[in-house]
Copies of this chain bind each other. A is one copy, B any other.
């Protein structure tokens, strides 16, 4: 099979890649997300394609979206509301499959196909970054849910009387553990950290507020993963995204909290590990929608 084009659409960044049939990124390109992203998407795709024959196009995008129709309305791209991304791509790349899914589902697929979840049939994939998202691989297949939205672990409630969430709910994991919320919590307590990267650096230097902020976030993620593991009977949770790169100050409380709450016998041996593919997981997973469609694409 030929290589495929992969596209990863985020609120701040667009990325495209040519991914070989065995799941290796051959060429990639990135650009900030402009107000009207379509011309840039198309340009990036053509740039990485560089005239190559392709077997299809896979896309991971921030939601919400109409799935599998591929009408996308990414929360952080106000200019796109019910934008017919799939139709546009079909026009540009006729005759090959074009498949659009949620970005976090693509991360889960990518980590399962070529990352930390290889060979494990039941995996929770997560991203802890500007938002907290996830995707589910159960019985070796990507789970879509009724509307393509399965895996929204960011909106598992970890503290029912906790902070309000952007979704309108209360105490969601995302409301506590998303990068901007963690930084805001630290700044309210006097921290100078401007973003998650600075917060992690401060924590590594022993700053107490930064450590407490990352501990609070890690513990909340541990609760959410424990809940998901009980509900899904997965063997592995794989966590990527910026905040998950914060090292021990984030991971130690996460593991402690997970161990405290995941106590059922069948959860013995479940592991929670960092993502292996880093920033490429979403692109590799988007490619997998086409290249390993038997496992990651359930619809026609």
Closest to A123 in B: B146
Contact B263 A230 (CB under 8 A): no
Please, which residues of chain B bring their CB within 8 A of the CB of A138? 138, 143, 145, 150
With A158-B160, A160-B158, A226-B157 already in contact, the answer to whether A260 and B143 are too (CB < 8 A) is: no
Instruction: Give the shortest distance, in Å, between A138 (CB) and chain B (any CB).
Output: 6
Contact B157 A158 (CB under 8 A): yes
Answer whether residue A20 sits at the interface, using C-beta atoms and an 8 A cutoff: no
Instruction: Give the shortest distance, in Å, between A95 (CB) and chain B (any CB).
Output: 28
Q: Annotate A12-49 by CB proximity to B: 1 below 8 A, 0 otherwise.
A: 00000000000000000000000000000000000000
Instruction: Give the shortest distance, in Å, between A111 (CB) and chain B (any CB).
Output: 16
A residues 149-178 touching B (CB-CB < 8 Å): 149-160, 165, 167-172
Please, which residues of chain B bring their CB within 8 A of the CB of A264? 149, 152, 155, 167, 169
Contact A153 B226 (CB under 8 A): no
Answer whether residue A82 sits at the interface, using C-beta atoms and an 8 A cutoff: no
8 Å CB contact of A170 from B64, B121, B260: B260
Report the Cα distance A143→B134, complex, angstroms: 18
Contact A233 B147 (CB under 8 A): yes
When all copies of this chain in the complex are counted, the total is: 2
8 Å CB contact of A261 from B134, B169, B219, B261: B169
Please, which residues of chain B bring their CB within 8 A of the CB of A155? 227, 230-231, 263-264
Answer whether residue A245 sits at the interface, using C-beta atoms and an 8 A cutoff: no
Please, which residues of chain B bring their CB within 8 A of the CB of A232? 136, 143, 145, 150, 231
Report the Cα distance A260→B155, complex, angstroms: 12
Please, which residues of chain B bring their CB within 8 A of the CB of A263? 155, 165, 167-169
Report the Cα distance A26→B264, complex, angstroms: 37
Answer whether residue A242 sits at the interface, using C-beta atoms and an 8 A cutoff: no
With A153-B231, A231-B156 already in contact, the answer to whether A147 and B226 are too (CB < 8 A) is: no
Contact A171 B235 (CB under 8 A): no
With A138-B145, A145-B122 already in contact, the answer to whether A157 and B227 are too (CB < 8 A) is: yes
With A64-B265, A138-B145 already in contact, the answer to whether A231 and B160 are too (CB < 8 A) is: no
Contact A233 B150 (CB under 8 A): yes
Please, which residues of chain B bring their CB within 8 A of the CB of A160? 158-159, 219, 223, 257, 261
Report the Cα distance A41→B64, complex, angstroms: 50
Instruction: Give the shortest distance, in Å, between A105 (CB) and chain B (any CB).
Output: 10
8 Å CB contact of A262 from B139, B153, B169, B265: B169
- Interchain residue pairs with CB less than 8 A apart (11): A146-B235, A146-B266, A149-B233, A152-B266, A153-B230, A156-B156, A156-B231, A157-B227, A165-B263, A167-B263, A169-B264
